[in-house]
Amino acid sequence: MGVTTVTDVRHTVSADGPTVSREPNPLSPLSILFRSDLGGHEQVLLCQDRESGLKAVIAIHSTALGPALGGTRFHAYGSEENPEDAAVLDALNLARGMSYKNALAGLDHGGGKAVILGDPGEIKTESLLLAYGRFVASLGGRYVTACDVGTYVSDMDVVARECPWTTGRSPENGGAGDSSVLTAFGVFQGMRASAQASWGAPTLRGRRVGIAGVGKVGHHLVDHLLEDGAEVVVTDVRGESVDRVLARHPRVRAVPDTAALIRADLDVYAPCALGGALDDDTVPALTAKVVCGAANNQLAHPGVEKDLADRGILYAPDYVVNAGGVIQVADELHGFDFDRAKAKAAKIFDTTLAIFDRAQTDGIPPAAAADRLAELRMAEGRARA
């Protein structure tokens, strides 16, 4: 297997401007790593195993608080002009988000993420997952992996055969099982905190919640909301996912697509699919007064958080409310106890309220308040190192 490692990635822009006058390709990996505001990652591993067809990126953003922890995304980037560059950008974004998520979740872990390039339905094989496990193992515990979009508990069982730093395994193999259970529970706690801040009570009873994406996490979130007395509207690009929810809960309503959902009469909008859900087209069209969902990296670009605030829309930072899953897999490293992990995930309610309070006190959007608190904890970790 071949390995290319880029370590200690930092900004290379001086006070006088870029050291190279020629404007680089904004999606060039070197541009992303060395010249963009995404810089600062400690290590990036580009992985290729020709025999199995594996092509992957492992990004470690920070180990200030402990070994980097984050899932493995298996995704096809074929629609992009430069799919490999798009995968690097995705891994960098996700790894950075994991540093912030783990910090505010109170975990002794830094942030990392991996991306395997390709359609999992077409190229995922045992030999590919084993090759991937060997690459993770080559990092010697600096990165602990888990499930993400396109990977499942059964996949982690295979990866773990080559790599001891694997979580999200099945209970039969010493793991905690499906982390989407506590991810959804944590999002629900964040939504309750949002309801407290917006309407004065920590309940969604009588509120209409629109969920974009009812896959691994979203369908569990539907259960929590209905039990709390909410009205639920859903959509998903996969028709079978919607059909599963409607078969289980006939009173749930479905709409054709996300565009129809964001224009529906909603109290809460919950993006629970891929990132970039909140952009220049989505925010002006939203009817909801609260945005709180499970998707990572919901803000398409800097400034969207201010656009939401200017419209009077309360945004619960994604990496705060969706931390239940990483809390679950982190607990697995210490001998998994579901009740202990759930109790920790329940604290997402208090953390979210604290962020809203900090935002109001400082006169900044909640996303900025969350970043400040996470950066403070990471700085304290670096100072102790």
Residue 113 annotated in active site: yes
Whether 186 and 209 have beta carbons less than 8 Å apart is answered as: no
DSSP labels, 260-312: HHHHS--SEEEE-SSS--B-TTHHHH---SEE--S-SS-BSSTTHHHHHHHTT
Helix (H) or strand (E) holding 247: helix 239-248
Whether 197 and 360 have beta carbons less than 8 Å apart is answered as: no
| Whole-number CA gyration radius for the chain | 20
- What is the rounded CA–CA span in Å between residue 269 and residue 76? 27
Whether 82 and 30 have beta carbons less than 8 Å apart is answered as: no
Sign of the dihedral through C-alpha 368, 374, 380, 385: negative
Could you say which of 55, 101, 113, 216 is catalytic? 113
- Bridge partners (DSSP) of residue 73 are 115
- The full length of the chain comes to 385
Catalytic residues: 113
